[in-house]
Chain A
Amino acid sequence: RKEVEQDPGPFNVPEGATVAFNCTYSNSASQSFFWYRQDCRKEPKLLMSVYSSGNEDGRFTAQLNRASQYISLLIRDSKLSDSATYLCVVSLIQGAQKLVFGQGTRLTINP
């Protein structure tokens, strides 16, 4: 079983739609959770950390379900510029340097 599993997509949605991604992780001892974004042929960049209570940053909402070992990312009112690959990232220890990346979910927003 993969340590971090994501639906690779691709997801094709119209501009303005709401889109949700899920990610599951295998190690129940995982402590830190993140979503990174990687544009085509570019480097990954941190989108947001994911906290146990859930957190929101503008149009983006991240949630964590420790019991089911899954993380979600919700994008509301999607923009063309949201087109990218979204990487789910987990680490065993808070602040740990060994990050485990999912394969990524590719999202294309259509005009």
Chain B
Amino acid sequence: ETGVTQTPRHLVMGMTNKKSLKCEQHLGHNAMYWYKQSAKKPLELMFVYNFKEQTENNSVPSRFSPECPNSSHLFLHLHTLQPEDSALYLCASSQWTARYNEQFFGPGTRLTVL
């Protein structure tokens, strides 16, 4: 099993749909992250979870709702999205310490909002 897996890999949804993205890490890490990567823009951090607790919300609109039921799983619930939300959504995990934080990324979910 690869380190960080994401499903689905591709998703097309309408603006009124509700869908969820799933991320699972098999590395025994204590932190998980959601990032957004839009075309021709840098990777943007959306949310950080440490030991299942959300510690960072980078001013993300409420139509994105994260959920972290345990240290290995992370979800991103999507509701009433806009076409500009179309992007690659990447999950990452890390074994966070005070000195070191290499983040391992999943393959991403490519989302298209019609």
Contact = CB atoms under 8 A, between A and B. Distances in A.
B2 to A, nearest CB: 10
B105 A97 contact: no
B66 interface: no
Contact of A101 (B42, B48, B94): B42
Contact of B106 (A4, A43, A99): A43
Given A95-B100, A103-B41, A45 B105 contact: yes
Interface in A77-103: 87, 91, 94-103
Q: Is the interface of A mostly helix, strand, loop or mixed?
A: loop
Contacts of B99: 94-95
Given A94-B98, A95-B96, A97-B101, A4 B107 contact: no
Given A43-B107, A44-B105, A97 B43 contact: no
Contacts of A46: 102-103
B108 to A, nearest CB: 6
A99 B41 contact: no
Interface in B1-49: 4, 31, 33, 40-45, 48
Given A4-B42, A46-B102, A46-B103, A98 B56 contact: yes
A30 to B, nearest CB: 14
B111 to A, nearest CB: 14
Given A43-B90, A43-B106, A44-B105, A101 B98 contact: no
Contacts of B103: 46, 99
B55 interface: yes
Interface of B: 4, 31, 33, 40-45, 48, 50, 55-56, 58, 90, 94, 96-108
- Sort A-B residue pairs by CB-CB distance and give the 6 closest, nearest first: A43-B105, A101-B43, A101-B42, A95-B99, A103-B42, A95-B101
Interface of A: 2, 4, 8, 32, 42-46, 87, 91, 94-104
